[in-house]
Amino acid sequence: MSPATRSSYLPVVLAGLTATIVVTAVVAGYLLFRPERSVGSVRVDRAVAGGGKALTALDRMVPTTAPHAATAPTTSAPAPRMTGGPGITPTPPQVFAVAQASVPRATLHKISALKHVQKIAAVDAGTVRVSGTAISLLAVKPAEFRSWTPKAVAGEPGVWDAIAKGEIVADARAVRRLGMLLGADYQVDNGPRLRLGASAALGLPGVDGLVSVEVGRGLGLLPGVAVLVHGADEHVAALGSGVRAALGQKSQVVAVGEAANRVTKAAKAGKDGKAEDGAARPKAPQRVVVGRPGSYLELYQVSAKVCPGLSWTVLAAIGQVESSHGRNNGPSSAGALGPMQFMPATWKAYGVDGDGDGKADIWSPYDAVPSAANYLCANGANQGGKKLEKAVWFYNHSWSYVRKVLGIAEGYARQYG
């Protein structure tokens, strides 16, 4: 891995630890987008849904990329699901600061008492090295820290599951800048073996990734040196000044997110004597990337999120009908390929790189299943009812096929509740 230029925001303070990390294995990641919604009611083949051949146990099937040789997905012991949804109220920071040493409790109380401050948090931080290139990390408790991240990240369980399992979650920009690969195993010298389990736009300048508090302690990250402050955007300048006064002039203090945009525009207006023309800095992409699912059940579930409103059970039913979940990938007599049996021309238009490895592979279930969701969504499957039926018909021009797929989908819905 070639050295990369470090972020200019936090050049000194996150240098509390240096360790050499070596990539020892490579697999890819899985791409997610938006929260899932329930699908509307649809007409089904009751004979298929109500009995007959037993449905495949999707939670015990591990996807493979056969017929191409590839590394099998890494599996790990189950960890408690960090469920998203109601109850998570994102309170992203307006100010992010890193002190020279652990911030005393009295100083934290002083910051929390500042005018316009609504919420604060202190977390561990430090720097490790990947082939000589510094990577800045925060060590966090998932249940407490998720509200400090953008809404799309806070609501994505896969990100917080990865941290809870002792894996690294990397910032999306760091992944691109450093050429990191999702699913890669990293061996820290004289330390734990870590896996890059997920990637997301964290929105924290100078921070390349998150790990759990336990992993951070093992890496020697400095306790309680990073401080996040949530308050009103319009008072970010006052917030920043107050935090800097409390932590000392040598601390690194930066505005974050929309607050940073306000500061940039205000500075530009002061320099030119007028408000800045044009849009503010583009927001970080809200895409969330999660490592390869370890079972077909999870693969179908996360792939459905490509098309909010599409039930994962429809994808599972198509996967069963088309290839028995990758056990008969073709080519078919008509020339269809892969676990979701795409025709090459259709794949060219709708195939996606679902696992973040840089290519859309028709044979890979990690690409084929989200591509099927993409194709179905383009034909209105997320609208449910007759629109869903028509979208499935477009997948295979047969109404008996539609009834069979929707019947199996209903069966999976009952089987997995």
Do 262 and 236 share a structural domain?
Answer: yes
In a domain, residue 65? The reply is: yes
Task: Assign 3-class secondary structure to the chain.
Answer: CCCCCCCCCCCCCCCCCCCEEEEEECCCEEEECCCCCCCCCCCCCHHHHHCCCCCCCHHHCCCCCCCCCCCCCCCCCCCCCCCCCCCCCCCCCCEEEECCCCCCHHHHHHHHCCCCEEEEEEEEEEEEEECCEEEEEEEECHHHHHHHCCHHHHCCHHHHHHHHCCCEEEEHHHHHHHCCCCCCEEEECCCCEEEEEEEECCCCCCCCEEEEHHHHHHHCCEEEEEEEEEECHHHHHHHHHHHHHHHCCCCEEEECCHHHHHHHHHHHHHHHCCCCCCCCCCCCCCCEEEECCCCHHHHHHHHHHHCCCCCHHHHHHHHHHHHCCCCCCCCCCCCCECCCCECHHHHHHHCCCCCCCCCCCCCCHHHHHHHHHHHHHHCCHHHCHHHHHHHHHHHCCCHHHHHHHHHHHHHHHHHHC
Q: Are residues 344 and 308 in the same domain?
A: yes
- In this structure, the answer to whether residues 192 and 300 fall within a common structural domain is no
Q: Is residue 3 in a domain?
A: no
Domain around 407: 37-73+292-416
pLDDT tens-place string over residues 305-350: 888 899 999 999 999 999 999 998 888 888 899 999 999 988 988 8
Last residue of a domain, one of 272, 300, 316: 272
Instruction: Indicate the number of domains in the chain.
Output: 2
pLDDT at 260: 54
Mean pLDDT is lowest, of 79-93, 152-166, 376-390, for 79-93
Report pLDDT for 13. Answer: 40
Pair (349, 247) in one structural domain: no
pLDDT reported for residue 183: 79
238, 272, 306 — which closes off a domain?
A: 272
Q: What is the pLDDT of residue 376?
A: 93
Among 52-66, 88-102, 116-130, 151-165, the range scoring the smallest mean pLDDT is 52-66
The verdict on residue 10 lying in a domain is no
Q: Last residue of some domain: 272, 307, 337?
A: 272
Residue 151 has pLDDT above 70, yes or no: yes
Query: What is the model's pTM?
Result: 0.51
The pLDDT assigned to 273 comes to: 44
Instruction: Give residue-wise pLDDT tens across range 194-237.
Output: 788 888 889 899 999 999 999 999 999 999 999 999 988 788 88
Q: Are 336 and 405 in the same domain?
A: yes
- What's the whole-number mean pLDDT along residues 267-283? 40
Question: pLDDT tens across 279-293, in order?
Answer: 333 333 334 455 578
Mean pLDDT over all residues of the chain?
75
Is 284 a domain residue?
no
